[in-house]
Amino acid sequence: MKRISLYSGIPVLSLLSLFFLLALLGCSSCTKPTTAKLVGRVVLTNDSGDPLLDPVDFAGVTIALYAPAVLDTTIVRLNTKYPQIGVTISQETEFDHRGEEPLKLTTSGADGSFDLEEITPGAYNLAFISPQWGVRYICGLSLEAGQEMDLGSLELFPVTILGTYHSEDVVFKRDHCYFIGETASFTGTVTIQPGSRIYMGPGSSFKAYGGFITVEASDINDAWRILPAREAFTTSALELGPDDYFGGLELRGEDSRLQGGIVRYFANTVGVFNDYCVVNNMLMQHGNTGLSILQGNASISNVITADCANMGFQLFSSQPGPFDVSSCVFMNQGYGISISIIGDFDINNNYFYNSRFGVANLTCSGSITHNEFEHGMIDVHQGSGNEIIAYNKFYYSTRWTIRPLGTMQINYNDFYRTAQYFVVIRQNDAPPYYTYVYDDVDATNNYWLPANVDDYLLDGTDNPNYPPGQECGYYVIHQPRRFTPVPGAGIQ
């Protein structure tokens, strides 16, 4: 019987070539890089004027690779919906290398060069750390499989340690690090450049008695920072607590401009003690009171204050004149804004989230317009005076939305949900059930989502529920009412 070969008619040389090609292709697939690599060079520059700080070589700087910082989802949502208010947070604003363990570590060589190999593709932040040369970051790196990213050169400067008293002008330079171990007083002009870092010892305060000038960067990603000093050069994760917080920042000079900065972990407040101050493009987080205006008047805009145990802003002044607070975000604090001033106030285009009291005024008058309130216990808590509340959106209050005491006009707002009452003009939690106001409250031309509005207004219509002799003689007048949301209400 004749055998039939399966390879009949195919030259042996062609088969060998085919097998070789298949093997080559398979091998190429197996050896394709699946990780990435970072290379670069550190340059140590002594610009202090002290020759003793001249580097012998550029060795010994720690380079640490970190996963991205977790951004607050509420602020990200607001940044997306309302980019014109607050500031836009990012890896640059939120990353602190002390917050987590590094994924990879290396140190610079004598010529400053470094490399980090076998990096899983993804997004990262990079920290350069040296007790003598400070801290700098490169944030938002994105690496792909097989990529070798050359970061070029990065410059570090000598760390400056400051004492307790300074009569001369002081400049905090861009991309430099400074340490203040104990409370320091500055009687000359203080200038803070973008990108500078000031690390404060526990309980220490920064007191500026002369001018305080902050050079505003093009955006918050290049902000100057004041932070606690604890373990600033560590490569181990730690949690900063109240024992680590610095005391506060006090501005007592006449020329004070607070802009383009990040202040975190302060025991007291950022206090302003002058006739007039401009505050804008700031991020204040983790402290007692974010900003206190304790003497004059102020124009405040595009500030985020968050996680302050007491207040976001405290406006307290015996001087007549306007207070303007606009385009700010208040989150997770006792009071968003507490106001006790002689002059008028204008609070407009702000977002209040999860504050026990959104706006609380004591003895003053003003307007609260085009704001939005979400998940506060009481959104507007009036002490006395005359207030106009118009074109706001009240999404949800966990207790009361508005509690008037005095004269208040509530018109052209959107009221969506409340756990108890939208407007309360009588006490309901303990006898005697006295009345909060001395006249009817004008709450006409608002949009109320619930059809049964009277069930969410605590006023004279609720007298049958209270003991005789404790009736309320006043009412929340809500007719006419709108049946569609108010055009133009909310943040503009």
Domain housing 50: 36-67+103-156
Summarised one tens digit per residue, pLDDT across range 58-86 is: 999 999 999 999 999 999 999 999 999 99
Let me know whether 189 and 324 are in one domain: yes
Phi, psi of 460 (to 5 degrees): -65, -20
The pLDDT assigned to 30 comes to 54
**Domain membership flag for residue 179:** yes
Dig out the tokens for 127 from the structure: 């920290």
DSSP assignments along 201-216, one per residue: -TT-EEEE-S-EEE--
Let me know whether 269 and 225 are in one domain: yes
The pLDDT assigned to 6 comes to 39
**Domain membership flag for residue 321:** yes
Contact 300, 279 (CB under 8 A): yes
Query: How confident is residue 431, by pLDDT bands cut at 50, 70 and 90?
Result: confident
Let me know whether 204 and 238 are in one domain: yes
CA distances from 48 to 21, 44, 173, 295 (A): 63, 12, 11, 38
Total domains, the chain: 3
pLDDT at 167 over 60: yes
pLDDT at 253 over 60: yes
Mean pLDDT across the stretch 233-242?
Answer: 95
Least confident of 126-135, 332-341, 424-433: 424-433
Dig out the tokens for 187 from the structure: 């009687």
The pLDDT assigned to 9 comes to 47
Let me know whether 413 and 483 are in one domain: yes
Summarised one tens digit per residue, pLDDT across range 272-286 is: 998 888 999 999 999
The pLDDT assigned to 10 comes to 44
Query: How confident is residue 485, by pLDDT bands cut at 50, 70 and 90?
Result: very high
Phi, psi of 235 (to 5 degrees): -120, 20
**Domain membership flag for residue 237:** yes
Length of the chain as a residue count: 492
Summarised one tens digit per residue, pLDDT across range 79-112 is: 999 999 999 999 999 999 999 999 999 999 999 9
Let me know whether 335 and 440 are in one domain: no
